[in-house]
Structure 1
Amino acid sequence: MAQRTFWIYYILLLNTTIQMVNGGFRKLFHKDIRYERLSLLNFTEVSKEYGYKSEEHTVITEDGYVLTLFRIPKGKNCHFTVQRTPVLIMHGLLLSSDSWIDSGPEAGLAYLISDDCYDLWAGNVRGNYYSRNHTRMNPDVDPEFWKFSLNEFGVYDLPAIIDYILDYTRSIKLNYIGYSQSGGSFVIMCSERPGYCAKVSVAIFLHPAAKMTNAKSQALRIITDVYQILEPILHNPLELEALPKGGYIQKITHDICQNDFIADKICRSILTMLDSYNPGSISVSTIRALTGHFPAGTSVRVMAWFSQVLNKEEFQNFDYGPVMNMKIYGRNQPSTYNCNATTAPVVIIHGESDNIVSKKDVEWLKDQLPNVLEVVYVKNPLWNHFDVPYSQHTREMLYPKIGEYLFKYSGNGVG
């Protein structure tokens, strides 16, 4: 009880301090801030700046969540016929589709894939700023809007997005790229929604987050543990939204990190505190751009779910406690996901300096999946979790293997 009370007061004090600092900082310095222009733009606007034509699509899930999906049908540097099998790329925790373009056309995976003549689709799961809408509920008024974890990403969001893309492109299958939480969400989908694995030619997991008990990031553990403590006692919808775009933390980070020196020293140190150090991998301009889009928001329950997977040996549904588990699942413990149901061919790409998803947990996941084609470790020994969306070296370090499997599993997806 004492520890619980400490964390409640700690998070309230931290929130108040951030509000005061943010308000004072913006009043004093806001007029003098020179924002990275791309940090103020959305996906279609940023891609247009670089000469890429993109589209915005709307997907509605079975339970009424309105998701935004972006498409680059043909890259600016694609001079051949576009491959027939579409490619879906999904973001990680607290990110959005913007994470695939923040590092620019020379490194952003959305650009690299579309330039390689693939029909590129970048999705957003419920709760981030691109998918903060519902057919019946208002996220600012209805607490039920925020009652979701990764389970709903896999059960509702991914199936809806996949069905939409296949219907729109008249394809039989697509290729899937899932980063971090979107690797785990794919496994959940295959476990809970029979038949959807058969709609994917190949699934490429980038640093997949499933079981995470060996994660080294103490900062991630502390942050998610606070949300795990607070989740059962929060009821206001504005409290149930975690780290939104436009919130105090995102605003003050965006403002402070527009200074090149601060972005390089302080903001880079924050990324290092959460993950590990890879000097020079993420450029200062990318740090300035990404802080306009990150954090992108999610539910408190998603953050609490990550606290659970960091501390449990099983990859399982959300744990509400014995009493609520009995009401929801009919048993004291939550149900465990059937990883063996992930029958689609899987390629795992990982970095050995990832402090968020460890090599041990990746190897565990590999052993649970029935159809792993290859596990690839990036040649750079310092390659870490945040390097996947943001490194300026993605073209050399990450894309060759992605491109190899996209090419191998493309071209046969049209009915």
Structure 2
Amino acid sequence: MITRMSMMNMILASQLLVFFICVIAEAHARKTLYTDDGICKRMVETQGYTCEEHKVTTVDGYILSLQRMPAGRSGKAADKPPVLLQHGLFIDAITWLFNTPEESLAYILADKGFDVWLANTRGTKYSSAHTSLSPNDMAYWDWSWDELVSYDLPASLSYVFNHTAQKMHYVGHSLGTLTALAAFSEEQLMNMLRSAALLSPIAHLNQIMSQPTKLAADLFIANDVYWLGLHEFIPNENVASKFLEGICRSLKLNCSDLMAIFTGPNCCINSSRINIFLNNEPQPSSTKNLIHLSQMIRTGKIAKYDYGNEEQNIQHYGEASPPLYDMASIPNGFPLFLSYGGQDMLSDVNDVKLLLTDLKDHHKNKLVLLFIENYAHADFVMGVNAKQIVYDPIMAFFNDN
């Protein structure tokens, strides 16, 4: 019997997790190699925008890259507050730059006068350095999204805050919403933020409808010791593609449509931009991160990583069970913009409703909801009409806060 367990999340914040895997074998043959240039040179400056590369080191030693777009394409310097954009799982900051400047959120914000900053999570190509470890070291991958909450997000926000001397707006997609919500629930980071816009918000995860995802979760969590032995997990043709192909065979599914099967039927992605996507993604994550996400599906709880026995949990947390992130503890007066889609099979509508129940006491004038019936998970960052449907309302929200 298929249960709601784990790897669901692997796909969860990935807006395109399985899409990667399904097309990776064909794409790998034509995929261009990475250059040593950073995101600024590869993606931003080629479009006529000014871009700066920055580095910030987390308390636990990971060296993260940040890109700053301090002006619009016209060259006019930003005259509005900073905005930090945080991507989801298996991708990096390039997710905000895939489409044309008229369609991609980072360019749009810069052209509207915002000081745009792009964050890159630990382990991704441009945030792969560490003060003492190498990605070849097991210890390098000993983290889950707890560490993104405790270290990566505070480091990136603090850097922008100290560099600009201004409070900023935040935009997160998928896993980038979970890390923010978890931090907010512990009343962290508010002193540096004006507001947060959360696209495809991820918190509660146990009502996702995708049967392949549920089976993937079962298979992943059932053999977590094996998966943990891999430490670094990247959806490539040698590991994840075979794993997912087996799921497709088990459920007698056509793998050519895995994007729709796992993320929901995205209505508005420009297929002509897919090659750009494939030339940059997927990015690695830690296997521990995937298991943590999987635990949320299995238990229905938004909790810290469960080490699997009371002794280890007590060692890490001082208690037998992992502490919970209480979404109801998010300060009621903090401005939040939440947008979710009716076709999204990762940020499921019913799970979002549970989050909204947690936020039932939030001040009504500080919580903006935007439901888009025909949007699925990837439409929020790759939809050709996202500017009109999502980004314009976000900028209006920012201007009010």
| TM-score (structure 2 length as normaliser) | 0.82
36 and 185 in structure 1: CA distance in 2 versus 1, 3 angstrom threshold: same
Contact 2:265 2:344 in 1 (8 A): no
Is 1:302 the counterpart of 2:293 in the alignment? no
* One-letter amino acid of the structure 2 residue matched with residue 114 of structure 1: A
Identity of aligned residues (%): 26
Alpha-carbon shift at residue 221 of structure 1 (Å): 3.2
Partner Cα distance (1:39, 1:398) in 2: 33
**CA spacing shift, 1:293–1:315, aligned 2, 3 Å:** same
Question: CA-to-partner distance for each residue in 1:196-245, whole Å, 9 max, x for gaps?
Answer: 12221111111111111111223333344444344434565xx211116x
Q: Hey, what's the Cα distance between the residues in 1 that align with 2:191 and 2:328?
A: 14
2:146 is aligned with what amino acid?
Answer: N
Residues 1:325 and 1:184: Cα distance change in structure 2 (over 3 Å):
same
1:157-236 to 2 correspondences below 5 Å: 157-171=152-166, 173-192=167-186, 194-233=187-226
1:280-295 correspondence to structure 2 within 5 Å? 281-295=268-282
CA contact (8 A) 1:154 1:185 kept: yes
Q: Supply the distance in 2 between the matched residues of 1:145 and 1:38 (Cα, whole angstroms).
A: 22
CA contact (8 A) 2:172 2:199 kept: yes
Aligned to 2:18: none
Q: Secondary structure at the match of 1:310?
A: helix
Contact 1:39–1:293 (8 Å) recurs in 2:
no
Partner residue of 2:140 out of 136, 145, 153? 145
Residue of structure 2 in register with 1:11 after alignment = none
Q: 2:339 aligned with 1:349, yes or no?
A: yes
Q: Deviations over 1:100-145 (max 9, x none)?
A: 01122121111111111100011011122221121011111x2111
Counterpart Cα distance in 1 of 2:72 and 2:37 = 19
Indicate yes or no: 2:108 matched with 1:112: yes
Could you tell me which amino acid in structure 1 is paired with residue 296 of structure 2?
V
Number of equivalenced pairs: 363
The match for 1:374 is 367
For 1:311-330, list aligned pairs within 5 A: 311-323=298-310, 324-330=312-318
Structure-to-structure mapping, 1:235-250, within 5 angstroms: 239-243=230-234, 247-248=236-237
Taking the aligned partners of 2:102 and 2:326, their CA distance within structure 1 comes to 38
| 1:276–1:403 CA distance, 2 compared to 1 (3 A) | same
Cα distance in 2 for residues equivalent to 1:320 and 1:294: 30
Decide whether aligned partners of structure 1 residues 50 and 268 sit closer, same or farther in structure 2, where only a CA change above 3 A counts.
farther
Structure 2 residue runs of 5 or longer lacking an equivalent are 1-6, 8-20, 243-253
| Distance across 2 between alignment mates of 1:169 and 1:106 | 26
5 Å-filtered alignment, 1:20-99, equals 30=29, 33=30, 43-44=39-40, 45-77=42-74, 82-99=78-95
Letter of the 1:185 counterpart? T
Say which of 100, 103, 119 aligns to 1:123.
119
Aligned residue in 2 for 1:262? none
State the one-letter code of the partner of 1:269: D
Q: 1:267 to 1:83 in 2, by over 3 A?
A: farther
Q: TM-score, normalised by structure 1?
A: 0.79
CA 1:170–1:314 in structure 2 vs 1: closer, same or farther (change >3 Å)? same
Is contact 2:49–2:75 with CA below 8 Å preserved after alignment? no
Q: What RMSD, in angstroms, separates the aligned Cα atoms of the two structures?
A: 3.1
Residues 94 and 294 in structure 1, CA contact (< 8 A), matched pair in contact too: yes
Within 2, Cα distance between the matches of 1:250 and 1:145? Answer: 20
Equivalent residues of 1:91, 1:99 under 8 A apart? yes
Q: Distance in 2 between matches of 1:290 and 1:40?
A: 18
When residues 268 and 119 of structure 1 are mapped into structure 2, their CA distance, relative to the original with a 3 A threshold, is: farther
CA distance in 2: counterparts of 1:138 and 1:298, whole angstroms? 14
Residues in 2 aligned to 1:155 and 1:233: alpha-carbon distance in whole angstroms: 27
Letter in structure 2 aligned against 1:314: K
Question: Which is bigger in relative contact order (C-alpha 8 A, separation at least 6)?
Answer: 2
Q: Quick check: 1:363 aligned with 2:353? A: yes
The CA distance in 2 between the partners of 1:206 and 1:283, in whole Å, is 19
Displacement after TM superposition at 1:375 (Å) = 4.3
In 1, are the aligned partners of 2:266 and 2:378 still within 8 Å (CA)?
no
Deviation by residue 1:335-360 (Cα, 9 ceiling, x = unmatched): 10132442232111111111101112
Q: Summarize the Cα distance change of 1:338–1:251 in structure 2 as closer, same or farther, 3 Å threshold.
A: closer
Equivalent in the alignment of 1:390: 382
Which of these two proteins has the greater Rg computed from alpha carbons?
1
The Cα shift of 1:303 comes to: 1.1
Greater shift in the superposed pair: 315-324 or 178-187: 315-324
